A and B are shown apart, each in its own frame.
Chain A
Amino acid sequence: MSGTVIVVTSGKGGVGKTTAAANIGAALAMMGPSVALIDADIGLRNLDLVLGLENRIVYDLVNVVEGVADVRKALIRHKHIKNLSLLPAAQSRDKTAVTPEQMKAVTDDLKSSFDFVILDCPAGIEQGFKNAIAGAERAIIVTTPEMSAVRDADRIIGMLEPHEIYDPWLIINRIRPDMVKRRDMLDVDDVLEQLKVDLLGVIPDDEAIIVATNKGIPVVMDEKSKAGRAFRDVAARIMGEDVPMAAAAEEEDWFTRIIRWFARARG
């Protein structure tokens, strides 16, 4: 079997890459496929924390590439989601501890036994980024509706092309419908107009994310959370299901729609 290797990246820090990687991985695994998450953020590892697996780490990514441990020995199975495994980053090393070739060897190995291999890419465009994209076939770009995040996302999309990663998916994170309505925040159309890539999902700003992260429970396991639902929709779209973009339109009442319709008609 040959799984798909997907890198979750953004350029800018703090837009929710790790949260997205953890929740997309968890949601996919909950649907049935086997998923291996790799934390490529060596030296600033977080993915284990978000998944609540920190206390189970014995071996890490650097141990694997240095031959200290076999990759299957280093993988940590999630305590609740049985199809989800994590290859944690080393905390005491830095990005230069791994080369892109070594990284590709690890992902090539893992995709022979997992349906999805998802990499959590560090912020920036340097070595850590180059490592994370080395073995990737597809990319999920995470951005927030801010000019700076959109600009960095644009840069990253351009940087993926020479590595033959085309047609990236876009996730717009932390949308606040009330602010969009007041035109205080870029809306989905504004972001897409510049980036011109396929929209994979819109994640509403949700306090439940912070609560879930602190507890180490992926928000997709919370049935009531809007963000959790949005991430489950994202996973379904990756699996090829046609799920409408609910979150973005959800809070738009009939009055706003008519106003928008008039605004469009006026051009």
Chain B
Amino acid sequence: MKSQEVIFVGTRSGLRLVLDAEENIENLKRVLERRLQEAVGFYSGARVTVETRGAVVAPEWIEEVRSVLAHHGLSMDERGWDGASAGSADGGASAGREPEAPPDGAGQDQSLPGADTVLIRRSLRSGQSVSFDGNIVVMGDVNPGSEVCAAGDIVVFGALRGVAYAGANGSADARVIALRLTPTQLRIADKITRSPDDEVQAPSGPEMAYLRDGAIVIEPWTTHLGAVFGV
């Protein structure tokens, strides 16, 4: 059985980390460290809201957690702390009962993936990478050896041949669309798929990848499909 001291929850509004503040800090750090190592960079670049199930914690405790997260490339969302440390009696406790609800103070103004979009008006070449806490549109190619990582959707007006990671904060309704969808590897939320090892027929038109029943599926992109998905 998995330990309950450290729990990662991917929600629409981002990644939440629920920590058991009663636990010894050294032990907690060790578990957190191990979980991050197991994830091998999966969470890297993510913003994390940390919760303590209503327990009040010392600033030093916060710093310890922040340094472990930073070591693995994660940044801590300050707003999560306001809810957890200041409102320990009411706000914090309610977060404990409803773990799926967004943390206090972060729910309203935190933009959903899809609200912000960045436009890249060039091709990404090998070794270049873009990551953004929203959607990414590339007007050009994404070449092998390059990487696009978005909290929301990824749209490539060109050939996508590199690695694309949509829904990087865990949102399972993220999708990837490209005029030529032949990625080295495709990740949506917590699912990973790679290109077939055998040579395959190149797609003839634009395609879209999305999660269906927990698996990444690729379908030709048509306006009809777009209407179904409300794009």
Contacts and interface: CB of A to CB of B under 8 A. Distances in A.
Are A and B bound to each other? Answer: yes
Residue among A154, A157, A159, A194 having the largest count of chain B Cβ atoms under 10 Å: A154
Contacts of B75: none
Contacts of B126: 151-152, 154-155, 158
Nearest to B161: A194
Interface string A126-160: 00000000000000000000000001101101110
Nearest to A153: B126
A194 B127 contact: no
A187 to B, nearest CB: 15
A155 B123 contact: no
Interface in B131-170: 141, 143-146, 159, 161
Interface residues of B, number: 14
A16 to B, nearest CB: 20
A196 interface: yes
A125 to B, nearest CB: 8
Prevailing SS type, chain B contact patch: loop
A207 to B, nearest CB: 32
A196 B159 CA distance: 12
Contacts of A193: 159
Contacts of B161: 194
Prevailing SS type, chain A contact patch: helix
A67 interface: no
A267 interface: yes
Interface of B: 123-128, 141, 143-146, 159, 161, 204
19 contacts: A151-B126, A151-B145, A154-B125, A154-B144, A155-B125, A155-B127, A157-B125, A158-B124, A158-B125, A158-B126, A158-B127, A158-B128, A158-B146, A159-B127, A193-B159, A194-B141, A194-B143, A194-B144, A196-B141
**Nearest 6 interchain pairs by C-beta:** A158-B125, A155-B126, A154-B126, A155-B127, A154-B125, A158-B128
Interface of A: 151-152, 154-155, 157-159, 193-194, 196, 267
